[in-house]
Amino acid sequence: MKALIQRVKKASVSIDGQLYSQIGAGMLVFLGVTKDDTPQNSEKLAQKLLNLRIFEDENEKMNLSIKDVKGEILVVSQFTLCADCKKGTRPSFDGAAAPENAAVLYEDFVNCISSSGTNVKTGKFRAMMEVSLINDGPVTFLVEK
């Protein structure tokens, strides 16, 4: 499981030109699910992100978590994070989970975040989405579990 995390001032997802979901300050999480992932990976990754200290404290040091700042999380499925670009010029998606399995693990991940009390919004699984954001920093991390 791979998560590309961006600390944002705000972010939103639109589908077919219509606003689908949006958040204020917090994290935009692009989530890729591999065929080797399990529900335990969802839980571990969710806990990692909830406790990852990427928000600045009063001394401008990254020392606070999403829970500390009471931020929001927008989770967007993105199977292209599982692409292998090592050979040739066309990405291979052999490592990505089948859509049926990925959908279950995506929902597990979202539920783990939600059960923490953190406000979480989502994109729509397997939809063509337009994602808008204002990156705060910019601050971007790739986390794998």
Residue-level pLDDT at 31 = 98
| Candidate list 30, 55, 79, 109, residue with the active-site label | 79
Residue 93 annotated in active site: no
**% of the chain at pLDDT higher than 70:** 100
Residue-level pLDDT at 45 = 97
DSSP state, 16?
T
Which whole number is the average pLDDT over 70-87?
96
* pTM, rounded to two decimals: 0.95
| Candidate list 40, 80, 140, 141, residue with the active-site label | 80
Q: Confidence class of residue 100 from pLDDT cuts 50, 70 and 90?
A: very high
Q: Which CATH number fits domain 2-137: 3.30.230.10, 3.40.50.300, 3.50.80.10, 3.40.640.10?
A: 3.50.80.10
In the block, tokens 């579990």 appear at: 145
Angle, CA of 93, 52 and 64, to the nearest 5°: 150
- Given a cut of 90, is residue 37 above it in pLDDT? yes
| Candidate list 6, 34, 55, 78, residue with the active-site label | 78
User: Helix crossing, 99-115 with 39-51: angle to 10°?
Assistant: 40
Per DSSP bridges, beta strands 26-32 and 2-15 are antiparallel
Residue 79 annotated in active site: yes
Residue 145 is inside which H or E element, if any? none
Which whole number is the average pLDDT over 92-113?
96
Residue-level pLDDT at 145 = 84
**CA 141/CA 90 separation, integer angstroms:** 24
Residue-level pLDDT at 138 = 95
Residue 80 annotated in active site: yes
Q: Confidence class of residue 107 from pLDDT cuts 50, 70 and 90?
A: very high
Angle, CA of 73, 78 and 79, to the nearest 5°: 145
Nearest partner of 106 among 117, 114, 118, 94, judged by Cα? 114
